[in-house]
């Protein structure tokens, strides 16, 4: 049976509307904690980037490392917070979509077996993607060089075709793995092998299904940009008109970083709008890719197994 693209897409939209308050209940606290960590860490991270940007190339390495230290510490803490918060949000949503389990409290804040499976699945996906990218890239490069030597200009064209084939292979892989977290929660395993088996023969259906959701995500992203972009627009116009002037671009990049720092400094005017917008967008965006994955899993394995 072919994957029912429009039926599943409609079911996903209906699910988000029908269970809107449960979705908010699951997401609001982990997202709030993640945004709080970003508010705490981002100003120091951006300050370090501004300092690095103001240093001359070939300058004192000790000063450079001293400036990089706070940035790397802040980045490490931010990634740690994301590694805790996102598995919570993903698992909480998928437990509701797949198992029908809703939080009994007015929030979801738990890190258990499902969250650990999601972390393991994420790490495996990263490793597999790196291997596929490196192996595919090397193959395309070697074959392309050989063809260039043998066939000249035609070899260069064929190398371009090989690059497109590599991009296609990566897209194929990501589509096949698009329900991996849902499989991890639904099958109570890491989910990689299960997602691969479940999606066999359903690439095109899932591809067009995710295209529809990408359009929804773009709309959500445009709304978010409309809230934060007005303050960036004049500077972005300056950057576009100064692209041929490296010195001016360097100064504008520093100003852009400073503006990003102000966005996370709650003592600055307009920072609250940016932070609240980012908070809401994080919840919306997370729901818009996690819920559809759970819905796709339910349709692929059958409603009787999805519940």
Give 144-197 pLDDT, tens digit per residue: 777 667 766 666 677 777 888 888 999 999 999 999 999 999 999 999 999 999
Q: How confident is the model at residue 218 (pLDDT cuts 50, 70, 90)?
A: very high
Structure tokens at 85: 């918060």
Examine the pLDDT at 15 and tell me if it is beyond 70.
Answer: yes
Examine the pLDDT at 40 and tell me if it is beyond 60.
Answer: yes
Which residue intervals of the chain are DSSP H helices?
Answer: 5-18, 20-53, 61-99, 113-151, 153-176, 180-187, 192-198, 203-228, 233-241, 246-264, 271-301, 303-306
Examine the pLDDT at 202 and tell me if it is beyond 90.
Answer: yes
pLDDT on residue 222:
84
- Full 3-state SS string of 52-79: HHCCCCCCCHHHHHHHHHHHHHHHHHHH
Which region holds residue 58: left if phi is over 0, alpha if psi is between -120 and 50, else beta?
A: left
How does pLDDT run across 221-280, given as a tens digit for each residue?
888 877 766 666 666 676 666 666 676 666 767 777 777 777 787 877 778 888 898 999
- Average of per-residue pLDDT across 115-126: 96
pLDDT on residue 154:
67
Q: Which residue has the higher pLDDT, 215 or 303?
A: 215
Examine the pLDDT at 137 and tell me if it is beyond 90.
Answer: no
How does pLDDT run across 41-82, given as a tens digit for each residue?
888 787 777 776 666 565 566 766 776 777 788 889 999 999
Examine the pLDDT at 303 and tell me if it is beyond 50.
Answer: no
Dist. CA 303–CA 281, nearest whole Å: 30
């Amino acid at each position: 049976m072919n994957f029912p693209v429009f039926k599943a897409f409609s079911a996903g939209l209906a699910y988000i509307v029908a269970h809107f308050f449960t979705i908010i209940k699951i997401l609001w606290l982990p997202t709030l904690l993640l945004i709080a960590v970003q508010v705490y860490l981002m100003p120091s991270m951006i300050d370090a980037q501004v300092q690095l940007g103001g240093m001359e190339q070939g300058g004192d390495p000790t000063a450079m490392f001293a400036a990089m230290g706070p940035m790397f510490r802040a980045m490490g803490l931010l990634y740690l917070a994301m590694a805790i918060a996102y598995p919570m949000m993903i698992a909480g949503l998928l437990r509701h979509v797949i198992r029908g389990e809703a939080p009994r409290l007015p929030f979801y804040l738990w890190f258990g077996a499902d969250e650990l499976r999601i972390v393991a699945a994420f790490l495996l996906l990263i490793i597999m993607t790196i291997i596929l990218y490196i192996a595919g890239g090397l193959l395309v490069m070697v074959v392309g060089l050989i063809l260039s030597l043998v066939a000249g200009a035609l070899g260069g064209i064929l190398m371009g075709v090989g690059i497109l084939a590599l991009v296609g292979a990566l897209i194929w892989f990501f589509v096949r793995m698009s329900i991996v977290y849902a499989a991890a929660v639904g099958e109570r395993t890491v989910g990689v092998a299960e997602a691969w088996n479940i999606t066999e023969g359903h690439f095109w259906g899932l591809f067009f299904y995710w295209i529809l959701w990408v359009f929804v995500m773009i709309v959500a992203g445009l709304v978010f940009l409309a809230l934060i972009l007005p303050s960036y627009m004049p500077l972005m116009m300056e950057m576009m008109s100064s692209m041929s002037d490296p010195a001016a671009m360097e100064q504008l990049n520093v100003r852009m970083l400073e503006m990003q720092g102000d966005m996370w400094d709650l003592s600055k005017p307009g920072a609250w709008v940016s932070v609240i917008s980012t908070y809401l967008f994080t919840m919306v965006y997370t729901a818009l890719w996690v819920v559809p994955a759970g819905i796709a899993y339910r349709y692929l394995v059958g409603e009787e197994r999805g519940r």
